[in-house]
Amino acid sequence: MANIIRISKSQKRKLITFTRCVLISLFAWLLFSISNEYVITVKAGIEYVNLPEKRAFHPQQSDTVNIKLKMTGWQVLFSKVKSQIPTVHVDISGLKNKNWIVFSNQIGFINRQFPHEQLVVSVSPDTLYFDFSKQTQRKVPVKAMADIQFRKQYGFIGETLVNPKYVTISGPYEDVANIEYWETDTIRGKDVSTDLRTVAYLNKNQRANINVYPTSVEVLMPVGELTEKIIELPLKVENNTHFKSVRTMPSKVAITVLMSVKDYNNYTARDFEAVVDINDWEEAKVKYLPVILTKVPDFCSVLRIEPQNVDFFVRK
């Protein structure tokens, strides 16, 4: 039979006292540790400011740098919790007469971009190099970026309107020529049930060496209530010219469409088209032909097609 260890009251007091001492020592050590200063390395994005007016430049290195920061343990702890990549402004006005920028000459300027309790020690790489080329400009369309959470049974019901539709970009010819559009900062919303009207700033992080004008646009996103509508469509047969006749069973399909309430009476079977391709039978030897929708109005979502596959008869 196992022996039961009995602890006297005095032993219990000693054990409790010992445990308290350990906890107090651990707490004191923790306070001491987080009060010390540490040097950590964080990755930061670059945003160029004070661009030279008559010189188009192209960075020869990555758009991120490693920054060594001196801070207390508390600050290290909080910076880990935030886990966000900071962005530092780099003054490149010196490119008027040279093709490199030295970070050690801008430590004071960079330090002013961080909280006073954080000290920038150094930046790696310390020197940024640039290529220069012919500067050009062109107009490109604006693309509104959105992350919208709608109220139930609501959604976009029309084309997003942007004013102005185009912005002027200028910079090195080889970079400007490859830009087809310019994105806005992401427009966000929750439980949205009405039109979204806002001023969106253009995304500055797409190309650091490109100037954009204007820097913001007005955005209107039509939002409305959605409903379902069942529409019956006749089936059309494609690639059947070398057959005497092709008949499908059934000859019609029913589609369930999610659309705007205000467009419920506007859309009919004429606005949609459903087809089957007889080549699917000739080439893949399928037993049933899949139904394909070749015409669907904008801002209408097809939820279901019944049936999705149809039987057929071919007379050669």
147 and 181 within one domain: yes
Dihedrals phi, psi of 113, to nearest 5 degrees: -90, -5
Task: Look up residue 251 and give its DSSP letter.
Answer: S
**Strands, DSSP E only, in 134-165?**
135-143, 146-150, 154-156, 161-163
- pLDDT, tens digit only, all 316 positions of the chain: 455 566 667 767 777 777 777 777 776 666 665 666 778 888 888 888 887 776 667 788 888 889 888 877 666 666 654 556 788 888 888 887 788 888 888 888 888 888 887 888 888 888 888 877 777 889 999 999 999 999 999 999 999 999 999 999 988 887 888 899 999 999 999 999 999 999 999 987 666 678 898 999 999 999 999 999 999 999 999 887 777 788 889 999 999 999 999 999 999 999 999 999 988 787 777 889 999 999 999 999 999 999 999 998 887 7
Q: Pick from 115, 133, 151: which residue ends a domain? A: 133
Residue 81: what pLDDT? 41
pTM over 0.75, yes/no: no
Residue 1: what pLDDT? 45
Q: 1 in a domain, yes or no? A: no
CATH code of the domain containing 161: 2.170.120.40
Identify whether the C-beta of residue 46 lies closer than 8 Å to the C-beta of residue 62.
Answer: no
Residue 126: what pLDDT? 87
246 and 172 within one domain: no
Q: 13 in a domain, yes or no? A: no
Q: Pick from 221, 242, 260: which residue ends a domain? A: 221
Lateral strand order in the sheet of 100-102: 56-59, 127-133, 100-102
Identify whether the C-beta of residue 264 lies closer than 8 Å to the C-beta of residue 293.
Answer: no
Number of domains in the chain: 3
123 and 141 within one domain: no
Q: Pick from 180, 205, 221: which residue ends a domain? A: 221
Domain range holding 124?
35-133
Q: 2 in a domain, yes or no? A: no
Q: 188 in a domain, yes or no? A: yes
Q: 85 in a domain, yes or no? A: yes
CATH code of the domain containing 287: 2.170.120.30
168 and 80 within one domain: no
256 and 282 within one domain: yes
128 and 62 within one domain: yes
What residues have CB less than 8 Å from 73, skipping those under 6 apart? 33, 34, 35, 36, 38
Q: 101 in a domain, yes or no? A: yes
Identify whether the C-beta of residue 313 lies closer than 8 Å to the C-beta of residue 287.
Answer: no
100 and 147 within one domain: no
DSSP string, 23-37: HHHHHHHHHHHHHSE
Residue 245: what pLDDT? 80
187 and 148 within one domain: yes
What residues have CB less than 8 Å from 218, skipping those under 6 apart? 162, 163, 197, 198, 199, 200
167 and 115 within one domain: no
269 and 217 within one domain: no
125 and 40 within one domain: yes
Q: Which of 74, 87, 314 is nearest to 208 (CA)?
A: 87
Q: 3 in a domain, yes or no? A: no
129 and 39 within one domain: yes
Q: 182 in a domain, yes or no? A: yes
